[in-house]
Chains A and B, each alone.
Chain A
Amino acid sequence: MSANQDGTNLLEVRGLTKIFGTLTACDHIDLDIAKGEIHALLGENGAGKSTLVKMLFGSLEPNSGEIFWNGQAVRISSPGAAKKLGIGMVFQHFSLFEALTAAENIALSLDDGSPISSIAAKARALSYSYGLPLDPESLVGDLSVGERQRIEIIRCLLQTPQLIILDEPTSVLTPQEADKLFETLERLRSEGKSILYISHRLEEVKRICDRATVLRHGKVVGHCNPREETASSLARMMVGNEVQAVVRAPVEGIDKAQPLLEIRNLTRKPATPFSIPLKGISLNVRAGEVIGIAGVAGNGQGEFFESVSGEVLQQDAASVRIRGKDAGGLTITGRRLLGAAFVPEERLGHGAAPRMKLSENLLLSRHATDGKAFVGAGGMVKSAAIYTAAQRIIVAMDVRKSAPDPEAAALSGGNLQKFIVGRELDRRPSVMVVNQPTWGVDAGAAAHIRQALIELSRSGSAVLVISQDLDELFEISDAIAVMHNGELSKPLPIAEATFEKVGLLMGGAEPGHAEHTLETA
């Protein structure tokens, strides 16, 4: 197959298949990982990356196929067995207890009864030797996302694995933190360890990976050397066709336009010991523009969204103004009636009720704004009207589904997100606030959603997008502000914004560092 460095591959996978009901999540996957290489696993959401990795880490059992470790056939029946072989994993979503210290969290996973103090000493030594400084005594709840990831990496390294699996490790890091991580990975490679690097960020795969295996719809569509590919050729392999580029038409006279969403000195005390307080946030979003809010996850974006949407009310009614009216004391329904629309980060369970049909989920956010159209006399729901409206959205947003009106949970993440965004766009809202519009959405659907948001703004609405995906924000925003530790920087006009400037702000550089030509009087 592909080049071996010393004759044997560390890991060989042959014909690995996993079937869930009617869905073949992994279909005869072949994969080789040589000793001392960084191997990328590329693919869109739903391509089967997670399923494959779960089988390698023993948390899922394959239906058929074989795994060879150092040339020996093995059966990995549990994560414990995987660790024993020498496979370590750093998950995308951390499994850490916030109320415990870093060392205590590590001790929990080691499960060998050694005293915490010796674990802490080992962890400290290891973390400094790999350039990932970590204080084992610190409480996880007090740590940034990047620092939490270090705990996960250190606890993985403490088990001296031969193969380290990293699932979307940079999705929660600032560009600068990601650079640090890459140095560590290169260091590990030089020590002869192998790394399976899962990502959909093509630039970083090109930068650090030696080989790549691309998955699409559960099948391997190719092995390649990412350094010899271009980002667009890799994207083509992942998606299967060209992704349409998002077009951002220039806006004129934006300075004179009316601010439709005004946030003035928005402050919020932390609701729980581990949530972020909001500190004096001010921002205007005018008709015709898209403002992006960048930031590492967990810096107050969720709290900010809840406050703006009205899921949490403000003491000061003037701290949130929609179309010139004080809305801080209004509920989410009241704010919707003023013309605002909201798309939360979490699709299932927040933006949509999983076990309800799409047509019912349409009613979820529009029962009040479209009260006359959807709700009849005496509070009777007009089911024919909501069905028709749901079908209209399904067509407009190209939502792919298996039944005419399926339950929300039956849709793939991307298609459900298209429906949820489309549900709000269908109202032509004058203010649209979206949190993570394309999180976990495949490239084609993401482009569709981004284009739709730009077009909404160009038709005269104010659009506010909160996102962790910098590429996305640079693609659609007219100005980018950065949220860090509950504070919001001044918006940086897109012409002046660079990854470096935004990255510094994300890491907590002084907000005054940025230019603010878009500042309002």
Chain B
Amino acid sequence: MMRLELVKRPQRSGLFSALSPFIAFALTIVAGAIMFALLGVNPLTAFRIYFIEPVSQVWQLHELAIKAAPLILIAVGLSVCYKANIWNIGAEGQFILGGIVGSIIPVLFPQFESPLVLPLMLLLGMVGGAAYAAIPALLKTRFGTNEILTSLMLVYVAQLFLDWLVRGPWRDPQGHGFPQTIQFNDSAVLPELMPDAGRANWGFVFALVAAVLVWILMSRMLKGFEVRVLGSSPRAGRFAGFGLNRMVFFAFLLSGALAGLAGISEVSGAIGQLQPVISPGYGFTAIIVAFLGRLNPLGIVAAGLVLALTYLGGEAVQSALGISDKVARVFQGMLLFFVLGCDTLIHYRIRLIGLTLTKPESAAKLEAAPKLKEAR
């Protein structure tokens, strides 16, 4: 009989750190093929429609950028949280609050038209997202609550608040009763990058700039060092004189501001008004993006494009094959599942052990749970 043993590596493996997302992606493709086959669709056809066709024309690449921009912006902020071992799961809510607060000017002061409007909106969006993220930070530092629960629950509060706003006080009086605000005036709309080629707007540029800046912060600056130390060994962080509570606020405010920026960019760029739903779950999908990108802002740019494709592919298979676009969710889930699984290979290597000498009745059981052993 054989059994598998996980042997701890003396050093983390740089090779598998880089390979892990690709292995995860390959496993996702295999599992996806099985899923399509079970749904009665030829997997090859399905993959072509899912992954190739949505990006075969220039205007489609613009759609990809529109979907990728919020994912990257949010995930870059989340990567700082997760590196600090702070679990902000509520980016979806911070995204929504960013959209709401950023929309204050175009909704309440539609006559105010000036080049100042857009920068103010973006700023307000960031403030809104950061302020909303400050709630779980305050609860955690003051009362020791679990930020996973509080940040997650605040998502539903934000969703319902938006829903109430667009049905109630902020509803467009001329909107025939539709639950939405007025269309933003031109000075409140995020311009498109190349209007002749496609719809992609400045949000994508914000995402790239944020990724580069956060990369510099994390890899070159003392603050990034502080994040990494507190995240990996909090006691050593305290010994270094870094404050954990300050870090909780820093991480939540930074990620909240970036999620808020993503929110107002989406509302002002891709949508042009507030609606009851302004996000197809970007705040949650960005969690996958952050991990698929190895919590590295540059990796997150690539991962954001991949996850954006799963959205487009989901829409494509729905219209072409009549499969529910929930397929996109399944792909996203599998990708996260496999990438977390593959990360084991960074710290452990797998060894096959043949148990030829042991008596069959005592050791015939294949050990499903691998033994973890320290190298020393």
**Interface residues in chain A, defined as those with a beta carbon under 8 Å from any beta carbon in chain B:** 20-23, 25, 46, 60, 75, 309-311, 331-333, 336, 342, 344, 346, 348-356, 360, 363-365, 367-368, 375, 378-381, 383, 406-407, 410
Q: How far is the CA of A177 from the CA of B224 in the complex (A)?
A: 49
Shortest C-beta distance, B80 to chain A (Å), equals 15
Q: Hey, what's the 0/1 contact readout for B223-267 against A, CB within 8 Å counting as 1?
A: 101001100110111111100000000000000000000000000
Please pick, from B221, B222, B229, B238, the residue contacting A356 in the complex, using a CB distance under 8 A: B229
Known: A20-B376, A350-B235. Is A381-B225 also a contact (CB below 8 A)? yes
Q: How far is the CA of A360 from the CA of B10 in the complex (A)?
A: 19
Q: How far is the CA of A378 from the CA of B236 in the complex (A)?
A: 24
Q: Which residues of A contact B241 (CB under 8 A)?
A: 310, 331-333, 336, 367-368
7 cross-chain CB contacts under 8 A: A20-B375, A342-B239, A353-B232, A364-B240, A379-B221, A381-B221, A410-B11
Contact present for B222 and A21 (CB under 8 Å): no
Shortest C-beta distance, B237 to chain A (Å), equals 8
Most chain A C-beta atoms within 10 Å of own C-beta, residue among B10, B223, B236, B240: B236
Contact present for B235 and A60 (CB under 8 Å): no
Shortest C-beta distance, B353 to chain A (Å), equals 9
Q: Which residues of B contact A336 (CB under 8 A)?
A: 241
**In the complex, B373 has a CB within 8 A of chain A:** yes
Please pick, from B7, B12, B358, B373, the residue contacting A355 in the complex, using a CB distance under 8 A: B12
Please pick, from A46, A360, A406, A407, the residue contacting B225 in the complex, using a CB distance under 8 A: A360
- Chain B residue at minimum C-beta to C-beta distance from A350: B235
Shortest C-beta distance, A54 to chain B (Å), equals 10
Q: How far is the CA of A365 from the CA of B229 in the complex (A)?
A: 11
- Chain A residue at minimum C-beta to C-beta distance from B235: A350
Closest 9 pairs (CB-CB, A-B): A333-B241, A353-B233, A353-B236, A364-B240, A20-B375, A332-B241, A350-B235, A379-B221, A349-B233
Most chain A C-beta atoms within 10 Å of own C-beta, residue among B237, B239, B358: B239
Shortest C-beta distance, B27 to chain A (Å), equals 26
Please pick, from A21, A349, A350, the residue contacting B10 in the complex, using a CB distance under 8 A: A21
Q: How far is the CA of A367 from the CA of B226 in the complex (A)?
A: 10
**In the complex, B9 has a CB within 8 A of chain A:** yes
Shortest C-beta distance, B334 to chain A (Å), equals 28
Contact present for A21 and B7 (CB under 8 Å): yes
Known: A20-B376, A332-B241, A368-B241. Is A350-B225 also a contact (CB below 8 A)? no
Q: How far is the CA of A311 from the CA of B239 in the complex (A)?
A: 6
Shortest C-beta distance, A130 to chain B (Å), equals 34
Chain B interface bracket (under 10, 10 to 19, 20 to 34, 35 or more) = 20 to 34
Contact present for B376 and A25 (CB under 8 Å): yes
Q: How far is the CA of A365 from the CA of B220 in the complex (A)?
A: 18
Q: Which residues of A contact B225 (CB under 8 A)?
A: 360, 363, 367, 381
Q: How far is the CA of A46 from the CA of B236 in the complex (A)?
A: 24
Q: How far is the CA of A37 from the CA of B48 in the complex (A)?
A: 75
Q: Which residues of A contact B11 (CB under 8 A)?
A: 406-407, 410
- Chain B residue at minimum C-beta to C-beta distance from A371: B222
Q: How far is the CA of A379 from the CA of B250 in the complex (A)?
A: 15
8 Å CB contacts to A: which residues of B326-376?
358, 373, 375-376
Shortest C-beta distance, B282 to chain A (Å), equals 30
Shortest C-beta distance, A4 to chain B (Å), equals 29
Contact present for A311 and B221 (CB under 8 Å): no
Q: How far is the CA of A375 from the CA of B240 in the complex (A)?
A: 15
Q: How far is the CA of A25 from the CA of B7 in the complex (A)?
A: 15
Shortest C-beta distance, B280 to chain A (Å), equals 36
Q: How far is the CA of A352 from the CA of B229 in the complex (A)?
A: 9
Shortest C-beta distance, B7 to chain A (Å), equals 7
Known: A342-B239, A350-B235. Is A364-B229 also a contact (CB below 8 A)? yes
Q: Which residues of B contact A22 (CB under 8 A)?
A: 10
Contact present for B228 and A349 (CB under 8 Å): no
Contact present for A379 and B222 (CB under 8 Å): yes
Contact present for B239 and A344 (CB under 8 Å): yes
Q: How far is the CA of A380 from the CA of B358 in the complex (A)?
A: 58
Q: Which residues of A contact B375 (CB under 8 A)?
A: 20-21, 23
Contact present for A356 and B239 (CB under 8 Å): no
Contact present for B239 and A351 (CB under 8 Å): yes
Shortest C-beta distance, B297 to chain A (Å), equals 16
Q: Which residues of B contact A20 (CB under 8 A)?
A: 7, 373, 375-376
Q: Which residues of B contact A349 (CB under 8 A)?
A: 233, 235-236
